[in-house]
């Protein structure tokens, strides 16, 4: 069994894989990480390996606790990957994006893949049909856009996403919802169209916390999998065992 840990900007996901199947999945706040790990190893004593992908949510002290229970691989830019990395500054590439490209490599090898991770930020990652990672783009995520309007103005309220009834807002709140949600949808569809104009037979993979909310609104055909990053991390753990 493998323990997969994805420490994002807002929470920590812990998944247990039995080969390629997820048999346990939970999300905890960073301050609850150590307690959650202790419970997991009490209930799943056969876990032998773990991988941590952290963008800063966990401290070194928290990560060191995990090494008490099993062998740990901390994902970094020096970790082995199964594809060619052509990013101009690989030392600055987020480890979460390495995991997404790895998941695409195993899910749809030797094809053009655009992976869109709609989380705190929205990242776009391109893996071409030569299994070469090219890069992509990063933009503010849905909630970050709401937060920015509230934090950087005097009177706009702090909102969370809702079902949008009309693209023409008739109140300040509705105008904000329209701007954020339609802005994100048009951005994603527009970028997909740009990539399609350059790469033939492009597979679009949408993942991240806003997967379900966004997938039904996009005009482009996509493959949606909210657990895509976790699957990529499990593949990377297996790839780096040898």
In the chain, what are the domains? 2-74 (3.30.420.40), 84-233 (3.30.420.40)
Is residue 111 left, alpha or beta, with left meaning phi > 0 and alpha meaning psi from -120 to 50? beta
120 in a known ligand binding site: yes
Compute CA distances 85 → 54, 95, 183, 241, whole Å.
20, 12, 31, 20
Strand order in the sheet with 12-18: 21-28, 12-18, 2-7, 49-54, 71-74
**Mean pLDDT, contiguous 10-residue spans, the chain (242 residues):** 90 95 95 94 96 84 91 94 97 95 97 96 97 98 98 97 93 97 97 97 95 92 94 98 80
Q: How far apart are CA 228 and CA 103, in angstroms?
A: 6
How confident is the model at residue 35, as a pLDDT? 95
Compute CA distances 242 → 12, 20, 106, whole Å.
27, 18, 18
How confident is the model at residue 153, as a pLDDT? 97
Residue 114 forms beta bridges with which residues?
126, 204
How confident is the model at residue 93, as a pLDDT? 95
Residues 105, 71, 226, CA angle at the centre, nearest 5°?
40
13 in a known ligand binding site: yes
How confident is the model at residue 180, as a pLDDT? 97
221 in a known ligand binding site: no
DSSP notation for 65-97: HHTTTSEEEE--TTS--SSEE--S-GGGS-HHH
96 is catalytic: yes
How confident is the model at residue 94, as a pLDDT? 92
How confident is the model at residue 25, as a pLDDT? 97
207 in a known ligand binding site: no
- Computed from CA positions of residues 120, 126, 127, 133, in that sequence, does the dihedral angle turn out positive or negative? negative
pLDDT in tens, 66-75: 999 999 999 9
Catalytic position from the list 32, 96, 210, 225: 96
How confident is the model at residue 45, as a pLDDT? 94
Quick check: helix, strand or coil at residue 228?
Answer: helix
């Amino acid at each position: 069994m493998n323990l997969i840990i994805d420490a994002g900007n807002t929470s920590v996901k812990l998944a247990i894989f039995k080969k390629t199947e997820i048999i346990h999945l939970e999300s905890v706040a960073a301050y609850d990480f150590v307690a959650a790990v202790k419970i997991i190893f009490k209930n799943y004593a056969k876990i032998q390996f773990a991988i941590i992908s952290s963008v800063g949510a966990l401290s070194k002290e928290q990560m060191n606790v995990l090494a008490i229970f099993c062998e740990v691989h901390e994902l970094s830019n020096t970790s082995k990957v199964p594809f060619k990395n052509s990013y101009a500054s690989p030392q600055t590439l987020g480890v979460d994006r390495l995991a997404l490209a790895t998941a695409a490599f195993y899910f749809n090898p030797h094809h053009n893949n655009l992976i869109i991770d709609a989380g705190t930020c929205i990242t776009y990652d391109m893996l071409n049909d030569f299994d070469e990672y090219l890069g992509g783009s990063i933009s503010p995520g849905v909630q970050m856009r709401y937060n920015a309007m509230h934090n950087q103005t005097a009177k706009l309220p702090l909102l969370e996403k809702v079902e949008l009834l009309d693209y023409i807002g008739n109140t300040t709140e509705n105008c904000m919802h329209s701007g954020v949600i339609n802005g994100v949808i048009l951005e994603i569809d527009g970028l997909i169209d740009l990539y399609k104009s350059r790469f033939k037979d492009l597979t679009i993979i949408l993942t991240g916390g806003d997967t379900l909310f966004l997938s039904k609104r996009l005009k482009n055909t996509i493959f949606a999998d909210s657990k895509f990053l976790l699957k990529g991390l499990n593949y990377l753990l297996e790839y780096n065992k040898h």
